Amino acid sequence: MNQLNTEREQRFIDLAATLADDFKQRAAQHDEEASFPHENYARLRESGYTNLIMPEKFGGLGASMLERLKAQERLAMGCGPTALAINMHFNVMGLLIDLERKFHAPNVTAMLQRIATERLICGGSGSEPDNAVINLRPRTTARKEPGGWAVNGRKIFGTQSIALDLFFAEATWEDAPQGETIISFFISPRDTPGLVFKDDWYTMGMRATASPLCRMSRRKSSPRSPRISSSATAISRLSMSSPPRCVSPLVEITSKIPSCSLRIEMSNVPPPRS
């Protein structure tokens, strides 16, 4: 279908086209091998595409929703899984952008500036395998401890998990002073003991998105639940009233994310035969 694009829209489409033409050379191989396209993500960072929707005041490209959609459509022509995966990054980034616009919280502003400058990859999951009403009450639980939080639960569809710098999730804080409260947090998956991604994702055509189950639970190798340090966490709170009301914007933004390797727990499920 022929589309009429503005000059600005065409610039975003041309950027996506350059990347797509490169990505398509490897798309079939990544799908066949169920491998993650690390080289594609390196190009996304280098080109500035990861900052596609980041406001220009933070050094991003400032694409609108329509401009984002047109760019993503073109990127998907080269590699569908890469376009789908990086879209999850944009979704999470969009949450922070909306919070910054609404609350003007200095720590959220600092987080966005850091994501833009360091070209970090954001993602995570709000979905749970046994919960159809995650927006009302996540079954993942959080307990406040001295210096941080202990979190127990499972999340599914952890898209681009192997490439994440910041992982987003939600949990229910059952013993909060104001009553049951939903907390949303951003943590470094490379620096959070007990946060494990299973190698269980074999969805045809989407294997290269790396969208496995994530587990945050007590482990035999550790006497504690996954511990989220309050100095390495961004937390927003929603009360469990109906409808939930906002209690506070994001707080306690992380100041540094180590660059150690992400842990992947290998399952015993073999990949499907070609």
Residues 116 and 180 in one domain: no
Last residue of a domain, one of 121, 142, 167: 121
pLDDT bin (cut points 50, 70, 90) of residue 62 is very high
Output the pLDDT for position 119.
97
Whether residue 253 sits in one domain with residue 149: yes
Which of 60, 93, 121 represents a domain boundary (last residue)?
121
Please indicate, yes or no, whether residues 149 and 113 belong to a single structural domain of this protein.
no
pLDDT in tens, 103-143: 998 988 999 999 999 999 999 888 888 777 666 788 889 98
Q: Are residues 101 and 140 in the same domain?
A: no
CB pairs under 8 A, 24+ apart, for 39-47? 40/79, 40/82, 41/82, 41/86, 41/121, 41/160, 41/163, 43/19, 44/19, 44/82, 44/86, 45/119, 45/121, 47/15, 47/18, 47/19
H and E: helices and strands count for the chain: 6, 11
β-bridge pairing 122-124 and 166-173: parallel
Residue type, 227: R
Task: For residue 2, name the pLDDT band (cuts at 50, 70, 90).
Answer: confident
| Domain-located, residue 274 | no
Q: Give the tens place of pLDDT for each residue, 27-36.
A: 999 999 989 9
Q: Percentage of residues in the chain with pLDDT exceeding 70?
A: 77
Q: What is the predicted pLDDT for the residue at 216?
A: 80
Tell me the pTM: 0.78
- CATH number of the domain residue 113 falls in: 1.10.540.10
Task: Report the pLDDT value the prediction gives residue 57, as an integer from 0 to 100.
Answer: 97
- Domain assignment of residue 6, yes or no: no
Q: Return the SS3 of 127.
A: strand
